[in-house]
Amino acid sequence: MLHIGFHTDAFNSAYWGFEQCLRWAQRNDLHYVECGVVDGVTWGHGLGYVPHVALWEDPLLLRRKMDRYEVQFSQLDAAFPLSIPEGATLGVEYVLHTIRWAKLVGCSRIDTTDDRDRPAGMTDREALDHLRRVYGQILRVAEAYDITINIEPHGYYTTRPEFIGEMLDFADSPYLRLNMDTGNTFIAGQDPVAFLARFKDRVSHVHIKDVSPSLAAAARGELTGIAISHCAVGEGVNAENIRRCVEILVDVGFDGVLSIECEGNGGPLIEQSLTWLRELVADANRRG
């Protein structure tokens, strides 16, 4: 069964707080939300201008608030670039803090990734060995907490099938999985359909992003990821790939959330995206 959710990144440019996102979910009959986590205090978050959650917030009280809106987390985003040297210190601690908080708030998935560039002074082998050690530390704790660690294609290594394939095999563990991203794989110059087909049995969560024709023409193959779709999902050059990816997910019996990552401010793009994806998902679920 495919479900629809959204990433609160959609409302970064609107300077919304997290509860505003919950109200938007309720108005649009959505029951899954994904957001980033802030490990510390920032003025923007404290004043309610950041649509993400901070780890100093009480997770049990927040869970009660979300229950009132009939919304639950599909995933928490702790996507510090783990491939850089600081991934072994700041990155690991950030993810470990998120794991403990996620357990209490009732979220079973955490998103992780790498940096857009190869780490300076490292060969690919050195960087991958570094990532293996980092994920080893994270998985030891994740398994104890029954939390799945997803790897998202978003950076230099994770958008290359040969490298992310090795990363997904860092450990023989059901707690190391893939967060598929239709937009990042496309903008990185990959075929999202072939990418998903290769790793279809490893998928735990999905980001749905389209790409505008102008952005594709200007940046495809030059970037490794985009934060959100700046055109409505279904109206860009990636729409047919998204359709085919949904077909693959139905064929493998995927039971999880498709999280929309689309601009939510300054127009109806995210509402249009939701309408388009709802029709696609409803048809897919009927066939599935």
Q: From CA 192, how far away is CA 188, in angstroms rounded?
A: 10
The total number of residues written for the chain in this structure: 288
Q: From CA 204, how far away is CA 179, in angstroms rounded?
A: 6
CB 59 within 8 A of CB 105: yes
Chain segment 270-281, per-residue pLDDT in tens = 999 999 999 999
Label residue 288 by pLDDT band (50, 70, 90).
confident
Chain segment 5-23, per-residue pLDDT in tens = 999 999 999 999 999 999 9
- The CATH number covering residue 49 comes to 3.20.20.150
Residue among 42, 41, 3 nearest 282 (CA): 3
* Number of structural domains the chain divides into: 1
CB 200 within 8 A of CB 248: yes
Model's pTM, two decimal places?
0.97
Helix 18-27 vs helix 59-68: angle between axes, to the nearest 10 degrees?
30
Chain segment 148-163, per-residue pLDDT in tens = 999 999 999 999 999 9
Q: Which residues contact 75 (CB under 8 A, 6 or more apart)?
A: 34, 107, 109, 110, 111, 150, 179, 205, 257, 259
Residue among 197, 153, 210 nearest 178 (CA): 153
Domain containing residue 162: 2-287
